[in-house]
Structure 1
Amino acid sequence: MTTPFRVGFVTGATPDKWAETWRRRSRVPLELVPVEEPEQEEGLRDGTLDMTLVRLPVDRDVLHCIPLYEEVPVVVVGHEHVVTAVDEVELADLAEEQLVRPHVSGWRPEAPQLAWPVMSLPEAVETVAAGTGVLLAPMSVARLLRRKDTAYRPVVDLPATRVGLAWRLDRDDERIQTFIGIVRGRTERSSRG
Structure 2
Amino acid sequence: MDLDLRKIRYFVAVAELLHFGRAAEQLHIAQPVLSRQIRALEKDLGADLFVRDSHGVTLTDAGRQLLDDARQLLATADGTRRRVVQAARGRRRLVVGFRAGVVVTAALRAFAATHPDVEASARRVEWDDQERLVLDGSVDIAYVRRPVREDGLELRPLYSEPRVAMLPGEHRLAGKPEISLTDLDGERWLRYNDPLPGDLPLRTIEEKFECVAAGTGITLVPHSVAEQYSRPDIAYVPVCDADPDRVLLAWAAGRRSPLVAAFAEAAAGVAVPG
Fold agreement, TM-score > 0.5? yes
Worse-superposed segment, 6-15 or 52-61: 52-61
Map 1:88-103 onto structure 2 (within 5 A). Answer: 88-102=178-192
In structure 2, C-alpha distance between the alignment counterparts of 1:60 and 1:124, rounded to whole Å: 26
Alpha-carbon separation, structure 1, partners of 2:217 and 2:149: 31
Task: Select 2:219's aligned residue among 135, 154, 157.
Answer: 135
Q: What is the CA deviation profile of residues 57-103 of structure 1, one whole-angstrom value per residue up to 9, with x for unaligned ones?
A: 43334111111111211110111211124211111111111112357
1:29 aligns with 2:119: yes
**AA paired with 1:127?**
C
2:109 corresponds to: 20
C-alpha separation between the residues in 2 aligned to 1:119 and 1:60? Answer: 20
Paired-residue identity, %:
34
- The amino acid that maps onto 1:123 is E
Per-residue CA deviation, residues 138-187 of structure 1 (Å, 9 max, x unaligned), is 1112222321111111112221010011111121211112112212329x
Look up the match of 1:190.
none
User: How many matched pairs?
Assistant: 180
2:241 aligned partner, one-letter code: D
* Superposition TM-score, scaled by structure 2 size: 0.60
Conserved? CA contact 1:103–1:136, under 8 Å: no
Task: With a CA cutoff of 8 Å and minimum separation of 6, indicate the structure with the bigger relative contact order.
Answer: 1
Q: Is 1:151 paired with 2:235?
A: yes
* Match of residue 74, structure 1, among 156, 161, 164: 164
As a proportion of its length, which structure holds more helix? 2
TM-score by length of structure 1 reads 0.84
**What pairs with 1:141-180 in structure 2 (closer than 5 Å)?**
141-180=225-264
**How far 1:119 moved relative to its partner?**
4.3
Q: Distance in 2 between matches of 1:103 and 1:90?
A: 22
Structure 2 unaligned spans of 5+: 1-89
Q: Kindly report the root-mean-square deviation, in angstroms, between the aligned alpha carbons of the 2 structures.
A: 2.1
Segments of structure 1 that go 5 or more residues without pairing to the other structure are: 187-193
